[in-house]
Structure 1
Amino acid sequence: MQLPIQSQSTIYAESWEAAAGPDDLAEIARAADRLGFFYIASCDHVAIPRRLAEAMSTVWYDPVATLAFLAGITQRVRLMSHVAVLGLRHPLATAKQYATLDHLSGGRLILGVGAGHVQEEFEVLGADFRRRGAVLDESIDALKAALGPEEFPRFEGEFYRFEGLGQAPRPAQSPRPPIWVGGSSPAAVRRAAVRGDGWLPQGDPRERLPGQIAKLLALREEAGNAEPLTIGAIAEPLYVGEPGWEVGRRVLSGKPEALAESLREYRAMGVRQIQVRFRSRSRGELTDQMAAFAAGVAPHLND
């Protein structure tokens, strides 16, 4: 699940999150760890321009700092950047941050990556917004080298070149942490197919996913990439049980068995993990929803 509080876009943030803080974030992460959630995720934006601030808000916690904080108070749950905007930083800087996080967490990092969409953010950092797709492609290749087993990695591309520069500590995962590509555009699907260890679509409705997955797998085969690929999906917002309040038209709610039956449709499409989000009016209601999902829905997902 994507963590609440750490990003507060009006698209998905609940009203209670505005007054929440580190203690609330920590308790939700502990609940995810305790209840068997696979990963918790944090977003990446450096600065939001005024033209977007009303819709996006300016609350975007730094993902490395946030996930490192939560790594220290959890034991099992994976820690995911959803997504790191690679074009904003040199690959060696990104590798240093995320290798350290993987090392300190005992190998729990999933590096989710994406192209980014806020032009002013790129410009103020001296990054190339126009060529961000090409930069992202090369950055993934560079990170595969920089996060791999070599202490002194070597890479040569159009935008980045490095050799003879050592980085330690190395990641705990071998041969390197997984890199999942986020996005649903044709370029993102191709990027995931050719370069990714996983794919996490953004905003694809359920009925569109089978076609996207078929395209993804065809492109991967065409590229000659035979490595395993984790296909993800972001499920509709959920409420386990009868809400007793207006949760919205697109929310899946009801008995645990019925929710599980609906979510199993994703597996039939070829999806192997789903990101879930729960409607809630408080931290307590959210953690109660997480517990109800873990006890009543999750055990039936693989039936």
Structure 2
Amino acid sequence: MAVSAPALAYGIQLPVQSQSTLYTERWETEAGPEDLVAVARAVDRAGFAYLAVCDHVAIPRRLAPAMSTVWYDPVATLAHLAAVTERVRLLSHVAVVGLRHPLLTAKQYATLDHLSGGRLILGVGAGHVREEFEAVGADFERRGAVLDESIDALRAALGPEEFPEHHGKLYDFAGLGQRPRPAQPHVPLWVGGSSPAAVRRAALKGDGWLPQGDPRERLPAQIDRIRRLRADRGPVGPFTVGAVTEPLYVGRAGWEVGRRTLTGAPEEIAASLRAYRAMGVDQIQVRFRSRSRSELIEQIEAFGAEVAPRLS
């Protein structure tokens, strides 16, 4: 008897909380906390595996026209949304952990995991805005090396020990207690980025990979590299391969949604998305085209009810 492959998990990067011109819809510029909560609740009801938020401390004036300066703090935002949702997991995509000492990051995210009943997925990345690093006294040039050690330090600081211990080149701590501890015995740590260094870091140090802008045709080679690196490393635990899909619109829009948008009947969209599973992807991150909060929630509900059951 044939055994079907597991269904793709599906998550979403939330609107409103980050407003880069690359993906923000017009209605988001006037939206606020009530809209964010309404969308998060819809995501929770629709069976999404996670909701995700981004991290930037401050945007330099030279980048503000493209990136905007609207970037809600990820810990505060996820904590707020944890209180108004029930089961959906909470992902930082991604926390720029090099901007903060690992003990500070661990304190914030351990508390979030504790308060949410163990729903945290900690996504981490190297960052890319030089001025942001300089403003807080962080090392921009060595941010890759900082991230490598930060991951090790966070493994210790988010583990079961009340007094975590880490001795490295950049960070050294012991005999310092932190409670509350995370509710999860092991907080999943997913690594973001698509450069060769980021992919290697994800394969060797992470529990999952969050690609950054890889089109479909690039994914098989990236996934194959991850598999080879992990095989060479030896026995390791579970690993979650992610992908960011094209923009989606379930049904016929009746308005211009852009040539890259995947649109059509639920079965058509599901058939296209199942190709990600065939590549070796475990979870997809989706984003819907919309003209209002209500249209976005309709899209979320349609995806959960009509597309998601067809993803196996």
TM-score by length of 1: 0.99
Q: In structure 2, what is the Cα distance between the partners aligned to 1:71 and 1:226?
A: 31
Deviation at 1:225, TM superposition (A): 4.8
Deviation at 1:178, TM superposition (A): 0.4
Q: In structure 1, what is the Cα distance between the partners aligned to 2:53 and 2:305?
A: 25
- Residue 162 of structure 1 is matched in structure 2 by 173
Identify if the C-alpha distance between structure 1 residues 93 and 225 changes in structure 2 by more than 3 Å, giving closer, same or farther: farther
Q: Conserved in 2, the CA contact under 8 Å of 1:7 and 1:43? A: yes
**Residue 84 in structure 1 maps to residue 95 in structure 2:** yes
Aligned CA-pair RMSD: 0.5
- Residue 10 of structure 1 is matched in structure 2 by 21
- Residue 51 of structure 1 is matched in structure 2 by 62
Q: In structure 1, what is the Cα distance between the partners aligned to 2:232 and 2:20?
A: 37
- Residue 138 of structure 1 is matched in structure 2 by 149
| Superposition map of 1:1-303 within 5 A | 1-174=12-185, 176-302=186-312
Q: In structure 2, what is the Cα distance between the partners aligned to 1:219 and 1:179?
A: 17
Q: In structure 2, what is the Cα distance between the partners aligned to 1:112 and 1:226?
A: 19
Q: Conserved in 2, the CA contact under 8 Å of 1:234 and 1:274? A: yes
Letter in 1 for 2:202: A
Q: In structure 1, what is the Cα distance between the partners aligned to 2:224 and 2:49?
A: 25
Letter in 2 for 1:243: A
Letter in 2 for 1:138: E
Q: Conserved in 2, the CA contact under 8 Å of 1:26 and 1:70? A: yes
Deviation at 1:224, TM superposition (A): 2.3
Q: In structure 1, what is the Cα distance between the partners aligned to 2:138 and 2:234?
A: 32
Q: In structure 1, what is the Cα distance between the partners aligned to 2:153 and 2:227?
A: 24
SS of the aligned residue for 2:93 comes to: strand
SS of the aligned residue for 1:25 comes to: helix
Q: Deviations over 1:173-196 (max 9, x none)?
A: 01x210000110000000000000
Q: In structure 2, what is the Cα distance between the partners aligned to 1:279 and 1:162?
A: 46
SS of the aligned residue for 1:41 comes to: strand
Letter in 2 for 1:132: R
Letter in 1 for 2:124: V
Detail structure 1 runs of 4+ shifted over 6 Å in the superposition: none
Q: Conserved in 2, the CA contact under 8 Å of 1:232 and 1:275? A: yes
SS of the aligned residue for 1:113 comes to: strand
SS of the aligned residue for 2:62 comes to: helix
Q: Conserved in 2, the CA contact under 8 Å of 1:194 and 1:225? A: no
Counting aligned pairs with the same residue, the percent is 74
TM-score by length of 2: 0.96
Letter in 2 for 1:237: P
RCO comparison, higher one (Cα < 8 Å, 6+):
2
Q: In structure 2, what is the Cα distance between the partners aligned to 1:20 and 1:225?
A: 47
Q: In structure 1, what is the Cα distance between the partners aligned to 2:249 and 2:37?
A: 22
- Residue 5 of structure 2 is matched in structure 1 by none
SS of the aligned residue for 1:165 comes to: coil
Deviation at 1:223, TM superposition (A): 2.1
Q: In structure 1, what is the Cα distance between the partners aligned to 2:233 and 2:64?
A: 40
Letter in 2 for 1:93: L
- Structure 2: runs of 5+ lacking an equivalent: 1-11
SS of the aligned residue for 1:96 comes to: helix
Q: In structure 1, what is the Cα distance between the partners aligned to 2:168 and 2:232?
A: 23
Q: Deviations over 1:249-279 (max 9, x none)?
A: 1000000001000000000000011000000
